[in-house]
Amino acid sequence: MSLLAIQYRLVPESPILVAANRDAHLDRPNSTPSIQSGKPRILCGLDQRTGGTWMGVNQHGLFVGLCPRRTDSPIYGSKSRSVLVREVLKSSTSERGVDKALEELSTHRFEGFNLIIADHENGWFIKSDDDHEVIRLEEGLNIVGSHELNDPRDERVQLARRLLTLQTLDSPVKFLAVASKVFARSPVGEGRPSMVMRNPGFGTVCSTLIALSPKPRDAIFQYAAGAPDSTKYEDYSPLLRDILSRGLRESRTKAKA
């Protein structure tokens, strides 16, 4: 399981606000966020086993994030889901990102996944198991785990929604401040939902907070390299602002040409 919340196009100064916990096997190595070589520039952590990623932002302001999806029966993928995310992050817009994901789905088999693809103009949710479906993101708070988008039966999703809507989060500072506490909520008892998961050999391995703005200097990227109830968020915002500024300069140069 993993959990991802995106507050989409409610705050004009930051149309994309994200909080996410990644849950994985504890012995699966991954790197902290860095700018990847090649174009477009991408800021993401890497799954060192596959070379892919679970979440990232590119220089065009495109956000892509994945949660594994539970399926009724096992699906054995011919290609890693994390590699799919990295391929989609090479897209210049969310619509092209959806096209790339569908192209990959037509030629490769993947384990079940839930995928969020969003930029300032459009946001999309793709769910894939035995079949796949593309759904346009509604403006507002959208939360996904291992089942449906905004699933009313998912106790973890509903807990996150309840905690994230106790007050109006009408600025990136408010959203990230509240989300950092919500996603650091420790387990409180067996069988009860929590944001941080701890099981033998499996649990929350990292957490990410993101604010994307039309102005690169206002973008924020914070990352905890461990469960956020015991690991502090570190600031990677300068890296994000660097690639977004580069993307803005390149787009202006192309427009003049």
Q: Is the pLDDT of residue 89 over 90?
A: yes
**Tens of pLDDT, residues 44-73:** 999 999 999 999 999 999 999 999 999 877
Q: What is the pTM of this model?
A: 0.97
Cβ distance 164 to 208 under 8 Å? no
pLDDT of residue 130: 87
CB atoms near residue 84 (< 10 Å): 25
What percent of the chain lies above the pLDDT cut of 90? 90
**Count of residues for the chain?**
257
Q: How confident is the model at residue 110 (pLDDT cuts 50, 70, 90)?
A: very high
Domain positions in the chain: 3-256
The per-residue pLDDT of the chain, averaged, comes to 95
pLDDT beyond 80 at 234: yes
State pLDDT tens for residues 131-181. 999 999 999 999 999 999 999 999 999 999 999 999 999 999 999 999 999
Per-residue pLDDT at 2 exceeds 80 = yes
How far is CA 134 from each of CA 131, 200, 231, rounded to the nearest angstrom?
A: 11, 35, 35
Confidence band, pLDDT 50/70/90 cuts, at residue 7: very high
Report how far residue 181's alpha carbon sits from residue 79's, in angstroms, rounded to the nearest whole number: 35
Which of 75-84, 112-121, 231-240 is the least confident region?
75-84
Q: What is the largest CA-CA distance in the chain?
A: 61
What are the Cα distances from residue 2, in Å, to 67, 82, 107? 5, 13, 26
**What per-residue confidence (pLDDT) applies to 134?**
98
Looking at the predicted structure, is the pLDDT value of residue 197 above 80? yes
Domain boundaries 3-256, CATH class:
alpha beta
pLDDT at 76: 79
**pLDDT for position 185:** 96
Over 90: is that where the pLDDT of 79 sits? Answer: yes
Distance from C-alpha of 108 to C-alpha of 84, rounded to nearest angstrom: 10
What CA–CA distance (Å, rounded) separates 43 from 35?
5
pLDDT the model gives residue 252 = 87
